[in-house]
A and B are shown apart, each in its own frame.
Chain A
Amino acid sequence: MLTIKNLSKTYSNSVKALDEINLSIDAGMFGLLGPNGAGKSSLMRTIATLQMPSSGQIEFAGQDVIANPQALRPHLGYLPQEFGVYPKVSAVDLLNHLGLLKGLSDTKARKRQIDTLLALTNLTQHSKKAVSTYSGGMKQRFGIAQALLGSPRLLIVDEPTAGLDPQERNRFHNLLSDVSENTAVILSTHIVEDVSNLCPNMAIVNNGQIIKQGRPSELIEQVSGTLWRKQVSKQDIEQHLAQYNVISQRLVAGRAEIHVLATHQPSSEFEPLTVELEDAYFAYLNLANKNQLRKEA
């Protein structure tokens, strides 16, 4: 459905945000994981026709999106990471407006869908209030509603659950899951759990490059047996960081636990780690960063 080939983007200030990205995305949820500044939002904006790439191709259903952005827009639902709204315009009016801009000219159908979306995002009782007065979570829910207007075949959601409480987050996950049956949904996030729970396919982005893509289980499988854990005292952390290839550290019951990437058990004090997607994610980031350093050296 969506094919991205050798996509690069360098901003006018010479920052290279995307570097030879290649992706192929079909209907269903596709997770895009990456740290802050990795290039996820740049990729989203480029796919969403909001910015021109420096080079590369984007095709949607066989149509060249870069040459003809209008080919994608009728089928696009987009929830940016950050967005604003017009002051003093109510949610229902703004949804109505965006619906008309998307081509929902049938008044009854548009109204019905808006009512449904407001209910699904739990905004019905606030639908007459200006969106500009909404709290962060409400505004994010409004963003979800507007992205789903019409019949998007490609839904791009950038950090959609930021600011949502757990209940709303679950509701949104269910909604996305429903939508993704016939729609390609690109879920950009740095919350590994969201990808883990929702996405049958995913990619990890770092420094503007796709460093890994595949099914989450495959990504986990590929690093199984190379990850180790050890609980250490806080004063020993520095020494372990210097000595081992530490990919992450966390607190477990008040004690520090380090996760180490190594082909063999680093020492007898280390135990094999039951790999989860987050560990795999850190492992791939670690490997990518090392490769980068090696290249620069």
Chain B
Amino acid sequence: MSKKQPILLKLTQQEIKTQLTQPSFILLIVLAALMGSFVIQHQPITDGVNVWGPYYLAGTVVKLAFILPCLIAIFATKAAVRDVQHNMQELIFSTAVSKFDWLASRWSGLFTATALVYLSFVLGMIAGLHLMELPAIDYVTMLIGFAWPSLLFILPAILLAVSLLFAIGLFSRSSLVIFIFAGFAFIGYQTLLMVTGSPIMAKPMVLSDTLNQVFRLIDPVGSSVFFEQVKSWSVNARNSQQVILDTPLLLNRALVLVATALTIFFTYQKFSLTLALTKLKKTSPAVTNNAQPYQAVPINLTWSAKLAGFTSLCRLEYLTTIKTKSFALVSIFLTLVVASEVFSGLSYLETMGVTPLPTTSVAFNQFAHDVLPNFGALFLAFFVAQVMWRDSELNVACLIETTNTSNRQLFSAKWLTLLLIPITFISIAIIVASIMQALFGGTIEWAIYLSAFYYVGAPLIALASLFLLLHTLIPSKFVAMGLSFIVAVLAQSNFGSYIGIEHKMLRFASTPHMSHSQLIGFDATATAFNHYISFWLALSVAFALIGFGLFRRGLDVTLRQRLILSMHRPKGHVFSGALCLLAILGSGAHLFYQANIIGQYKNSDALVQWRVDYEKKYIAYQGLPQPTIVDVNTQLDFFPSERRFTLSAKYQLSNKTAKPISQVLINTHHLLNYSSLTLSGATLASHDKALKQYLWQLNSPMQPGDTIALDFALDYQQTGHNGVIHDNFISDKFSYFRDLRYMPFLGFAKHLQIKSAQTRKEHGLEPLPAALSLEQDIALHQGDFSADYRWASTDITVSTIKGQTAIAPGELVKQWTVDNRAYFQYVNQQPMRRVLAYFSLDLVKSTKQVDGVNLEVYHQSQSQDLANEHLAAMADTVTYANRHFSPYPAKQLRLIEVPSVLGYSGYALSQTILLDERFGFGVKRDNGKAIGFDHLYRRTVHETAHQWWGYALDSAMTEGVSLLIESLAKLTEVLVLEKKFGPEYVRTLVRYEHNRYFSGRGNSRQQELPLYRSGESHVVYSKASVTMNALVTRLGEKALTDAVAALIKQHHYPQRPATTLDFIARLKETSEPSQHQFIDHWLKNVAFDDWQITSAEVTENKDGGFVADVCYINPSYVLNPNGKKSSKALNNPAQLVFLSAHPSRVFNKGQDRRTLKVLDIIGQPTQQCAQQQLTQRPSHIAIDPYYLTLDNSREDNVIAL
């Protein structure tokens, strides 16, 4: 040992030096620091939470730990494979170095390099925090905030990844295998994060609770345990509390360390300092030569001979590319990724076990939307390098390039091979996806799959040509490959926006993302895609021509020499070049015209500047009395095939203020082209063409109650070149225009003001006044928000092509056809909330009458069964609401299937409901019954309920408005679902919403407000569900329905709009005084219970009965307005339930036969006990098993007997 240590030390020092002096280390150190600084400065900041506090710091390092495998792979190659790469094994392994010294030194160098890069990342974060000029950083807290999660999460993750990748490198002796494994780890970890609902991922989902539990055990970083632990942290806790090593985290960390130790042990045991020769090269024995004498064979210089040579070149280039270990690994990788993506797409539509119909559309979108383009581009960058440098790297170029093959043949063969690579990727994806779809029982639509060759393949082919050019121009394979990767990332992501590259025309091969819709096919962006890809393909042909001109044939041929040689090319190349240039200019100009002129493209800076200019110029008009639109008469003509409509309108404006009006400021949207706009009895004082503002001077002031007419006409052309806009969409089969943002707006548009304080400061705008609380706003408005009403009577005529149905809100009073165009006139005699939507549809209509209301569902013909289900849900809701809330005011209610590109899952407009084609009409059923939770029924109930909550009751636009819209729709869900499915079914929903609420809290960036003031979705939807269920259970259905019915009655237009305080007041009127504290607890507090059963015992009586003795406590607490926890006895009631099975088993659709007895208890922080006589021995006792309280820690709520 005494001799060994110095050798090990010296070897380790040498190894560390080797790692630390390689260029990639220096590059990574710099990049890590920059990334640390960037990440911390661009962290989304939660109100009141310190960005230097332990929560943010731990969260940031944990979130980014998924990069570790890729980072370590770079160093692992150096540590484990460099002897193989440089053919040094025989020299090294024949020295006296011991296995331990060699392995330990190599491992140490690898670990040190990785740790230093991580340290650089942390230092970058610290520098970033310093640059942010934060008011008061507590550096001790900050340093501990870095050190503790680094020790707890990152160090074990690094140890495991270093050991694994080192071992893989040693045993595979291949850097490629290391990188592929790292890639697998990178993707695999992210996939697991996604399917276990990690908040790190953009689209998290929970596939299975069991999977979540297993992942929490084995998560190498521990992020899942981290987010589970911090999800209920308050703002104060986020600023002061460190992650604690609780049992789940301890178990997880211990398992990771054990896995590391086992990997190291296995490596040491199995590795030996020997060569990996598995077979000896054979030499032919000397044989007697009886061969024919050599005879020359004349060569053929005809076209057919050239074609045969070219074919052979293509064949060999392609086969040599795909018959490699790297291509096999990439193919396996793609197969796994596509299979997992398609599997998750086909097995998950929504939470609680809802699955989609296994359509080709679903499978296609899972891989063609992002997975294949993104990975395809990266892999392509790698394989282009292989193809372009293979001949010289293998030293076979000297054989090939001295043959009679022309440059044209050599180059074209390489180019064609590069084009075949993406086609191979796509073929793999299609085969995998179609097999998966078939396994799920879907009907394969080959035309959709085959379209991937165009929509995914064409951009990749364009990229391949650019990569080819880079490799032709740049004399270093790795520099060219690095640049190719950068181009690929810029093309396929939005990273370019950080350096000002926003326009798609500046991102080579960037096209609109193509998603397939069962409803509209690819219509949303197909035309735009064609234009973009024409431009890119024209450019790529030019790149190929340049690449051909500068093709590197032979050795030591400089770019200059190649340039000189290219000048002597035949004239045909000039002609090809000219044609190509013409194609580039033509397609580029057309694309620019479509995107920038017709599409009126503006980058983010220009959009901000527009709003800044608007505010600076027109803020003076804020507060100026303006008339109100009281009557709308519109004609809108859709031209679906041209993606265009024209609109002419006459608005009646009324002065509803108490003051005379002498000027009217009219704001028009920049996307619409107004051909005329006139105001009766007024003179145009100014027309600001840049900002599209009209200022009218009334000839004589408009007195209170006076009316004038506003006439205007406009046209709108949509191209899809700048993406899909969620509220206006025109295509062959489906057109939709919601006028909310687009019609003339009277007065200064406050909604156009920039909200970001930082951006306002940068542009010299005054800070906005602090947001008012509900009570302050009510005081300011003296309790009357009527001025915000946007109601009007309407008379709308919509026309479209013959064969399509045009729809607008109101009763269809007239329908006619002229010149192959169909006209539909819709009228609302009574004023309605003025958010008007127009449609032109090529869909089937199903109808049902209920309470005199005509229910209509517009859907694809194959969705008849689901349409009937929607009609039933609408009928149930309308019936219930008519009985309990208020009569539905119109004669029709329409539900329309809309394409997924709009991004709505469900959206309610007045008299119209939009339902996404997937969530509403792509849901898999089992013999007409729901699989998993019936979200289809629930969602339709919810959106139908908005006809009351949002339209019948148009509430005050102030804090808490979301309660009166969304939370009351959740109340309706609870009530109608219970009628339809029974209370057990509602419990399942409430349990889900309870957990979703706590999960939402963990991800929230705001200080939580009580329900009556909140606007956060996890509060107004999820907490609201639990709240409404608790209120219905405790107060009774009638108290709730009477309260909301009174609310509508007292606050319906034109009466003053309701606030949440009005709702609470009505609720208190319809409930017992003893229940008022309970109402306040749910609606006006942010309060939590923490029920715990401390002991439970069941004894048998002599008469055969049982006596249960249970003791429990409830150390409940509330959050103060500053976010601090405050212990408080809530005196909240809960149910003590005696069960014949674990409470988790009561959550099913069947009738609950497992609840033996329910006892109401009141929680106290001190221990309380209860005794209950039972006729049957319970197996479990639980507090609040039906989720009537908010208790995040429920493990101790149940006791098994």
Q: Does chain B have a CB within 8 A of A62?
A: no
Contacts of B394 in A (CB 8 A): 84-87
> Pick the contact of A103 from B284, B309, B555 — CB < 8 Å?
B309
Contacts of A74 in B (CB 8 A): 299, 301, 404
Q: Does chain B have a CB within 8 A of A88?
A: yes
Q: Which of B270-309 contact A (CB under 8 A)?
A: 281-284, 286-287, 289-302, 304-306, 308-309
Tell whether, in the assembled complex, residue B296 and residue A11 are in contact, meaning their CB atoms are under 8 Å apart.
Answer: no
A126, B311: Cα distance in complex, Å? 25
Tell whether, in the assembled complex, residue A80 and residue B294 are in contact, meaning their CB atoms are under 8 Å apart.
Answer: no
Against B, the Cβ 8 Å flags (1 = close, 0 = not) of A49-71 are 11110000000000000000010
Contacts of B298 in A (CB 8 A): 150-151
Q: Does chain A have a CB within 8 A of B1172?
A: no
Q: Does chain B have a CB within 8 A of A206?
A: no
Contacts of A109 in B (CB 8 A): 297
Q: Which of A104-119 contact B (CB under 8 A)?
A: 104-106, 109-110, 112-113, 116-117, 119
Contacts of A203 in B (CB 8 A): none
Question: Looking at the complex, which of A23-31, A92-100, A241-249, A283-291 is the stretch in contact with chain B?
Answer: A92-100
Known contacts A86-B394, A100-B308, A103-B300, A116 near B291 by CB under 8 Å? yes
Q: How far is the CB of A247 from chain B (nearest CB, A)?
A: 34
Q: Does chain B have a CB within 8 A of A135?
A: yes
Closest A-chain residue to B407, C-beta based?
A: A70
> Pick the contact of B294 from A83, A168, A178 — CB < 8 Å?
A178
Q: Does chain B have a CB within 8 A of A82?
A: yes
Closest B-chain residue to A93, C-beta based?
A: B316
Known contacts A117-B294, A178-B293, A76 near B554 by CB under 8 Å? no
A133, B308: Cα distance in complex, Å? 27
Known contacts A73-B402, A83-B395, A102 near B299 by CB under 8 Å? yes
Tell whether, in the assembled complex, residue A89 and residue B403 are in contact, meaning their CB atoms are under 8 Å apart.
Answer: no
Tell whether, in the assembled complex, residue A73 and residue B403 are in contact, meaning their CB atoms are under 8 Å apart.
Answer: yes
Tell whether, in the assembled complex, residue A133 and residue B281 are in contact, meaning their CB atoms are under 8 Å apart.
Answer: yes
Q: How far is the CB of A181 from chain B (nearest CB, A)?
A: 10
Known contacts A52-B554, A78-B402, A100 near B396 by CB under 8 Å? no
Tell whether, in the assembled complex, residue A87 and residue B281 are in contact, meaning their CB atoms are under 8 Å apart.
Answer: no
Q: Does chain A have a CB within 8 A of B929?
A: no
Q: Does chain B have a CB within 8 A of A179?
A: yes
Known contacts A74-B301, A100-B312, A11 near B320 by CB under 8 Å? no
Q: Does chain A have a CB within 8 A of B398?
A: yes
Tell whether, in the assembled complex, residue A148 and residue B401 are in contact, meaning their CB atoms are under 8 Å apart.
Answer: no
Tell whether, in the assembled complex, residue B402 and residue A83 are in contact, meaning their CB atoms are under 8 Å apart.
Answer: no
Contacts of B555 in A (CB 8 A): 45, 50-51
Tell whether, in the assembled complex, residue B556 and residue A51 are in contact, meaning their CB atoms are under 8 Å apart.
Answer: yes
Q: Which of B301-329 contact A (CB under 8 A)?
A: 301-302, 304-306, 308-309, 311-313, 316, 320, 323-324
> Pick the contact of B404 from A80, A84, A101 — CB < 8 Å?
A101
> Pick the contact of B289 from A12, A119, A133, A148 — CB < 8 Å?
A119
Q: Does chain B have a CB within 8 A of A138?
A: yes
Tell whether, in the assembled complex, residue A171 and residue B395 are in contact, meaning their CB atoms are under 8 Å apart.
Answer: no
A112, B293: Cα distance in complex, Å? 12
> Pick the contact of B284 from A122, A146, A150 — CB < 8 Å?
A122
Tell whether, in the assembled complex, residue A52 and residue B561 are in contact, meaning their CB atoms are under 8 Å apart.
Answer: yes
Q: Does chain A have a CB within 8 A of B622?
A: no
Q: Does chain B have a CB within 8 A of A137?
A: yes
Against A, the Cβ 8 Å flags (1 = close, 0 = not) of B474-508 are 00000000000000000000000000000000000
Contacts of B283 in A (CB 8 A): 135, 137-138
Tell whether, in the assembled complex, residue A179 and residue B395 are in contact, meaning their CB atoms are under 8 Å apart.
Answer: no
Q: Which of A167-226 contact B (CB under 8 A)?
A: 167-168, 171, 175, 178-179, 182-183
Tell whether, in the assembled complex, residue B297 and residue A98 are in contact, meaning their CB atoms are under 8 Å apart.
Answer: no
A133, B278: Cα distance in complex, Å? 12
Q: Does chain B have a CB within 8 A of A233?
A: no
Contacts of B313 in A (CB 8 A): 97, 101
A86, B312: Cα distance in complex, Å? 14
Q: Which of B403-441 contact A (CB under 8 A)?
A: 403-406, 409
Tell whether, in the assembled complex, residue B554 and residue A73 are in contact, meaning their CB atoms are under 8 Å apart.
Answer: no
Overall SS of chain B's interface = loop
Contacts of B312 in A (CB 8 A): 96-97, 100-101
Closest A-chain residue to B296, C-beta based?
A: A151
Q: Does chain A have a CB within 8 A of B140?
A: no
Contacts of A267 in B (CB 8 A): none
Tell whether, in the assembled complex, residue B399 and residue A83 are in contact, meaning their CB atoms are under 8 Å apart.
Answer: yes
Q: Does chain B have a CB within 8 A of A14?
A: no
> Pick the contact of A12 from B296, B403, B556 — CB < 8 Å?
B556
Contacts of B305 in A (CB 8 A): 100, 103-105
A137, B286: Cα distance in complex, Å? 12
A105, B302: Cα distance in complex, Å? 9
Tell whether, in the assembled complex, residue A101 and residue B556 are in contact, meaning their CB atoms are under 8 Å apart.
Answer: no
Tell whether, in the assembled complex, residue B556 and residue A73 are in contact, meaning their CB atoms are under 8 Å apart.
Answer: no
Q: Does chain B have a CB within 8 A of A120?
A: yes
Contacts of A135 in B (CB 8 A): 281-283
Tell whether, in the assembled complex, residue A179 and residue B399 are in contact, meaning their CB atoms are under 8 Å apart.
Answer: no
Q: Does chain A have a CB within 8 A of B527?
A: no
Tell whether, in the assembled complex, residue A152 and residue B399 are in contact, meaning their CB atoms are under 8 Å apart.
Answer: no
Tell whether, in the assembled complex, residue A86 and residue B316 are in contact, meaning their CB atoms are under 8 Å apart.
Answer: yes
Against B, the Cβ 8 Å flags (1 = close, 0 = not) of A151-175 are 1100000000000010110010001
Tell whether, in the assembled complex, residue B300 and residue A101 are in contact, meaning their CB atoms are under 8 Å apart.
Answer: no
Closest A-chain residue to B288, C-beta based?
A: A122
Contacts of B287 in A (CB 8 A): 122
Tell whether, in the assembled complex, residue B398 and residue A150 are in contact, meaning their CB atoms are under 8 Å apart.
Answer: no
Q: Does chain A have a CB within 8 A of B849?
A: no
Closest A-chain residue to B299, C-beta based?
A: A103
Q: How far is the CB of B24 from chain A (nearest CB, A)?
A: 25
Tell whether, in the assembled complex, residue A120 and residue B309 are in contact, meaning their CB atoms are under 8 Å apart.
Answer: no
A151, B324: Cα distance in complex, Å? 34
Q: How far is the CB of A202 from chain B (nearest CB, A)?
A: 23
Known contacts A52-B561, A82-B395, A116 near B556 by CB under 8 Å? no
Tell whether, in the assembled complex, residue A104 and residue B556 are in contact, meaning their CB atoms are under 8 Å apart.
Answer: no
Contacts of A183 in B (CB 8 A): 296
Known contacts A73-B403, A86-B394, A89-B320, A150 near B291 by CB under 8 Å? no
Contacts of A45 in B (CB 8 A): 398, 554-555
Tell whether, in the assembled complex, residue A151 and residue B281 are in contact, meaning their CB atoms are under 8 Å apart.
Answer: no
> Pick the contact of A48 from B293, B294, B320, B402 — CB < 8 Å?
B402
Against B, the Cβ 8 Å flags (1 = close, 0 = not) of A118-152 are 01101101100000011101100000001011111
> Pick the contact of A87 from B290, B306, B309, B320 — CB < 8 Å?
B320
Q: Does chain A have a CB within 8 A of B607?
A: no
Tell whether, in the assembled complex, residue B406 and residue A70 are in contact, meaning their CB atoms are under 8 Å apart.
Answer: yes
Closest B-chain residue to A167, C-beta based?
A: B286
Closest B-chain residue to A174, C-beta based?
A: B289
Contacts of A51 in B (CB 8 A): 554-557
Contacts of A138 in B (CB 8 A): 283-284
Contacts of A11 in B (CB 8 A): 556
Tell whether, in the assembled complex, residue A179 and residue B294 are in contact, meaning their CB atoms are under 8 Å apart.
Answer: yes
Tell whether, in the assembled complex, residue B405 and residue A101 are in contact, meaning their CB atoms are under 8 Å apart.
Answer: yes
Q: How far is the CB of A127 from chain B (nearest CB, A)?
A: 10
Q: How far is the CB of B306 from chain A (nearest CB, A)?
A: 8
A83, B287: Cα distance in complex, Å? 25
Tell whether, in the assembled complex, residue A50 and residue B301 are in contact, meaning their CB atoms are under 8 Å apart.
Answer: no
Q: How far is the CB of A123 from chain B (nearest CB, A)?
A: 7
Closest A-chain residue to B561, C-beta based?
A: A52
Q: How far is the CB of A184 from chain B (nearest CB, A)?
A: 13
Most B-side CB within 10 Å, residue of A51, A89, A101: A101
Tell whether, in the assembled complex, residue A150 and residue B281 are in contact, meaning their CB atoms are under 8 Å apart.
Answer: no
A103, B300: Cα distance in complex, Å? 5
Closest A-chain residue to B405, C-beta based?
A: A101
Q: Does chain A have a CB within 8 A of B1126?
A: no
Contacts beyond the supplied A45-B554, A84-B393: 4 A-B pairs with Cβ under 8 Å: A52-B561, A106-B300, A116-B295, A123-B284
Instruction: Pull 19 A–B residue pairs with CB atoms less than 8 Å apart, ordered by A.
Output: A45-B555, A49-B401, A51-B556, A73-B403, A74-B301, A96-B312, A100-B309, A102-B403, A103-B299, A105-B300, A105-B305, A120-B294, A122-B284, A138-B284, A148-B294, A149-B297, A150-B298, A151-B298, A183-B296
5 closest pairs, A vs B, by CB?
A119-B291, A151-B296, A84-B395, A103-B299, A105-B305
